[in-house]
Structure 1
Amino acid sequence: MRPVAIFRHSPTEGPGYFAIFLESHRIPWTLIALDEGAPVPASAEAYSGLCFMGGPMSVNDDLPWISPVCALIQDAVEKNIPVLGHCLGGQLMSKALGGQVTRNPVKEIGWASARGHDDAVSRHWLGDFADRELTVFQWHGETFSIPPGATRLVGNEYCANQMFALGPHLGMQCHTEMLPEMIACWCDQWAEEAAAVAHLPSVDSPETMQTGIPARLPVMRQLADQLYGVWVQGLAR
């Protein structure tokens, strides 16, 4: 089986639980560290799927790898090779597929609730999580529009577009890949950012994020298993 290509845009925003999930299902994967200058492949043909992780930059920034990444996503969609995006990765997918990325009304940082929709596409992806309150993790100040032909799966009061699906492709604004070590690292690395918007109800303090791990991470892990489980069914064999 061809490997899943996982694209990293920032050293502390690696594949996390997504890699653990792939390994538990004996699915090979390879890391393409764009943050270390790795080139963007010209074609998706060498991979069974593409996964794009998060990052502190904007897809609207003038960065040399953004246009090639968008072209690669378009190539994968044309070839029916599944694409998965987390946060920045979901925004890259939206941009590549004809959507827009703009400033969100508020920053979302930390644990959050969201609501799964109840339609055929949402039920396919969310399973028993359709039409239910979901636990997710957030760290974003921008948001994507739902690209043409895609279906919104999840939203909340602070950010309407939390997930979309287009065929076998899944774009997420939220993070489902978090590990305790990643949460601790982000709390330390971006403490000033969280402190600057601590007055917002959409923002958790670093302490709240970390003390919430025992109760909230296992619940989110169930959602991750559902979403990743559906996504890997479409992998090119």
Structure 2
Amino acid sequence: MRVNVLQHTPNEGPGAIQTWTQARGHKMYVYHPYQYGILPTADETDMLIVLGGPMSPNDDLDWIKQERVLIKQLLDAHKPIFGACYGAQQIAKTLGYAVHASPVKEVGWAPVTLQSQVIPGLPATSTVLHWHQEMFEIPDEAELLYSSKDLRNQGFVIEHEAIGLQFHFEPLADNVREMVVNDGAYTTGSILNETPQDILDTPVPADNEETVFKLLDYLNA
């Protein structure tokens, strides 16, 4: 299977998603549309991963609009899509739902609570990395998957076709360090009140990578 990854900033890579592709024997291709303006076609995509980034789906940029064209083509073709943070917002906006400022800025480690049993074997509570100040509205065709105490709309699932998460399960320890050393100033104003050093000092929960595997296996079933 060809897994096409859309990466939107150098310091937010696929992390555990790459581990999954290697373990399952898939081929991963990473695109950087913000830099090169190149996207895969729907025909050459078996699964699409849309990663996070500092931009907004509401930005008036051609490549952002073209990403939504691709997402729409894949949804129409019933090909699986996984979106993290900005990527989840792009899926929601493609389906016609609002992306807007969140009532809270969340940057750092904090728990989310599972709201649906549609995907087997997921932990009831997970400590995840938040790195956002915008949020999506849940599409009508989707089921609420995760919430936190500060924000209800943390994740959604559309049958076996799409998963969108406002937060990050995918970063491994090296990825977290890369995010913090390059974008640590973004912690300012976060409701979680964590410093860049606090984030670095928090070990990545071991079950986060396992959860990535369960989410992607579900999409690929």
Q: TM-score, normalised by structure 1?
A: 0.87
| Pairing 1:211–2:201 present | yes
Is the 2:122–2:211 contact (alpha carbons within 8 Å) kept by the matching residues of 1?
no
**Superposition deviation, residue 128 in structure 1:** 4.2
| Pairing 1:75–2:81 present | no
Q: Which residue is 1:232 aligned to? A: 220
Pairing partner for 2:182 from 181, 185, 189: 189
Q: Secondary structure at the match of 2:176?
A: helix
Residues 14-69 of structure 1, C-alpha deviations (whole Å, 9 max, x = no match)? 1111011111110111111113214224x412111111001011111112211111
Residues 110-152 of structure 1, C-alpha deviations (whole Å, 9 max, x = no match)? 11101101xxxx32325242xx222211100000001121111
Q: Which amino acid aligns with 1:14?
A: G
Pairing partner for 1:107 from 105, 108, 119: 105
Q: Which amino acid aligns with 2:34?
A: D
Q: Which amino acid aligns with 2:164?
A: G
Q: Secondary structure at the match of 2:97?
A: coil
Partners of 1:222 and 1:203 in 2: how far apart?
A: 27
| Pairing 1:47–2:45 present | yes
Partners of 2:102 and 2:202 in 1: how far apart?
A: 24
Residues 45 and 203 from structure 1, CA distance in 2 versus in 1: closer, same or farther, beyond 3 angstroms? Answer: farther
Partners of 1:191 and 1:79 in 2: how far apart?
A: 39
Runs of at least 4 residues off by over 6 Å: none
Q: Which residue is 2:15 aligned to? A: 16
Q: Which residue is 1:177 aligned to? A: 170
Partners of 2:141 and 2:62 in 1: how far apart?
A: 28
Residues 146-176 of structure 1, C-alpha deviations (whole Å, 9 max, x = no match)? 1121111110122211111112211111111
Residues 32 and 217 from structure 1, CA distance in 2 versus in 1: closer, same or farther, beyond 3 angstroms? Answer: same
Is the 1:5–1:32 contact (alpha carbons within 8 Å) kept by the matching residues of 2?
yes
Pairing partner for 1:156 from 148, 155, 163: 148
Q: Which amino acid aligns with 1:46?
A: E
| Pairing 1:127–2:126 present | no
Q: Structure 2: where are the runs of 5+ without partners?
A: none
Fraction of identical pairs, as percent? 28
Partners of 1:126 and 1:146 in 2: how far apart?
A: 21
How many equivalent pairs are there? 220
Q: TM-score, normalised by structure 2?
A: 0.93
Partners of 2:68 and 2:34 in 1: how far apart?
A: 16
Q: Which amino acid aligns with 1:69?
A: E
Is the 2:37–2:63 contact (alpha carbons within 8 Å) kept by the matching residues of 1?
no
Q: Which amino acid aligns with 1:108?
A: E
Is the 1:126–1:227 contact (alpha carbons within 8 Å) kept by the matching residues of 2?
no
Partners of 1:203 and 1:22 in 2: how far apart?
A: 34
Q: Secondary structure at the match of 1:106?
A: strand
Q: Which residue is 1:146 aligned to? A: 138
Q: Which amino acid aligns with 1:229?
A: D
Is the 2:56–2:86 contact (alpha carbons within 8 Å) kept by the matching residues of 1?
yes
Partners of 2:12 and 2:48 in 1: how far apart?
A: 16
Q: RMSD of the alignment, in Å?
A: 1.5
